[in-house]
Amino acid sequence: MMHVWTKRIAPDEEALWETRMEMEAEGRYAIAQVVGQRSLKLQVYAEEVALAETLHKRYGGAIEELAKESWIAQGSPGPILVKIRDEIIVTSHREPADRAALQEEYPGRCILSIPPELAFGTGEHETTSTCLRFLVDVARERQGTPWEMLDLGTGTGVLAIAAKHLGAQRVLGWENDPLAVPVAERNVRENGWSASDVQIANQDVLTWDPEGPSWDVITANMFSEILIACFPKIRRALHPEGTLLISGILAEQAEETLAAAATAGFTMATVKQVGKWVTARTV
């Protein structure tokens, strides 16, 4: 059962709540403008009711239970507004006027428009949002040094598009689902990049045969069994000083998955669990 904790907050308290939720809710929050009102809506989605109850006891607000069917239907409550560090805003808004308003409200931040789709990855899911936070960290570490990124299982293309905005010189996103490929391609265009800036390809990673080290950063937000099968290939494709970022790992599969990564030669310097999902990165 999924639980959502909701609280209305004042616009001038937004930065304070963002800081609190980064620490207390492990970044699993969304802040949305309430249509027709000055207040903002802060929501935290929790697999465990204890987190929602702790927030309710500490800050008030309300808790709602969501059955699995309701969670799927409401998994992208509109409008989506996910804050990634102080670098990126992921929104569901498509209209230029709405995006321009967000840019004015958050000057200096990259506004990514990723509407809810059949393809995976709107930015609000624990795996995607944590990957985005790690990716911001990687980009900062590589600032001033050219870098290129391969995104395995790109879905909506959100990680690939974010990497380009964060300074990657070359970005390639691979997706095995033929229905997701045109979604990612459209998102690339609607976020201001050409097909040559962020290349999207229909590619099955299980049939991939890397020719050698080609990438500075590889992101792979995929199921554990696919990650385990691909670790040796990723090892061959990643530069020796490169960074691997993985997610899509259920907590109960983390030990096996991280052990397979170690067998392939990867040392995961940071492992973060948010809800039932685990994300990890090398140095």
pLDDT tens-digit readout, 85-131: 899 999 888 888 988 999 999 999 999 998 865 445 555 577 888 99
Cβ 44 vs Cβ 25: under 8 Å = yes
Taking the C-alpha atoms of residue 183 and residue 114, their distance in angstroms, rounded to an integer, is 10
* Amino acid 216: pLDDT: 98
* Amino acid 46: pLDDT: 76
Task: Give residue 48's pLDDT band: very low, low, confident or very high (50, 70, 90).
Answer: confident
Which has the higher per-residue pLDDT, 246 or 43?
Answer: 246
**pLDDT, mean of residues 228-254:** 95
* Amino acid 1: pLDDT: 64
3-state secondary structure string, 271-282? EEEECCEEEEEE
Task: Give residue 278's pLDDT band: very low, low, confident or very high (50, 70, 90).
Answer: very high
Is the model's pTM score more than 0.75?
no
Least confident of 20-29, 124-133, 274-283: 20-29
- What rounded mean pLDDT belongs to the chain? 86
Report residue 97: phi and psi, to 5°: -65, -40
* Residues 175-217 pLDDT 10s: 988 878 998 999 999 999 999 999 999 999 999 999 889 999 9
71, exposed or middle or buried, with CB in 10 Å at 0-12, 13-18, 19+? middle
The CATH code that applies to domain 126-282 is 3.40.50.150
Cβ 131 vs Cβ 221: under 8 Å = yes
- Is beta strand 148-152 parallel, antiparallel or unpaired with respect to 170-175? parallel
CATH topology of domain 2-113: Alpha-Beta Plaits (3.30.70)
Q: pLDDT > 70: what percent of the chain? A: 88
Report residue 35: phi and psi, to 5°: -60, 130
Which segments within 62-101 are labelled E, that is strand? 62-66, 81-84, 88-91
Sequence spans of domains, the chain = 2-113, 126-282
In which residue are the tokens 């170690």 written? Answer: 262
- Is beta strand 88-91 parallel, antiparallel or unpaired with respect to 81-84? antiparallel
Paired residues of 40 in beta bridges: 9, 33
* Amino acid 69: pLDDT: 40
Is the pLDDT confidence value at 169 over 70? Answer: yes
Taking the C-alpha atoms of residue 172 and residue 164, their distance in angstroms, rounded to an integer, is 10
**pLDDT, mean of residues 3-30:** 80
**pLDDT, mean of residues 40-60:** 85
* Amino acid 37: pLDDT: 64
User: Which helix (H) or strand (E) segment is 53 a member of?
Assistant: helix 49-59
**pLDDT, mean of residues 156-181:** 94
* Residues 124-154 pLDDT 10s: 577 888 999 999 999 999 999 999 999 999 9
- Residue 4: C-alpha distances to residues 92, 112, 126, 153, 235 (Å): 19, 24, 14, 28, 39
- Residue 81: C-alpha distances to residues 1, 29, 98, 139, 173 (Å): 23, 9, 12, 22, 23
Crossing angle of helices 224-237 and 254-263, rounded to 10°: 20
| Phi-psi region at 23: left, alpha or beta (left = phi > 0; alpha = psi -120 to 50) | alpha
**pLDDT, mean of residues 81-85:** 86
* Amino acid 75: pLDDT: 44
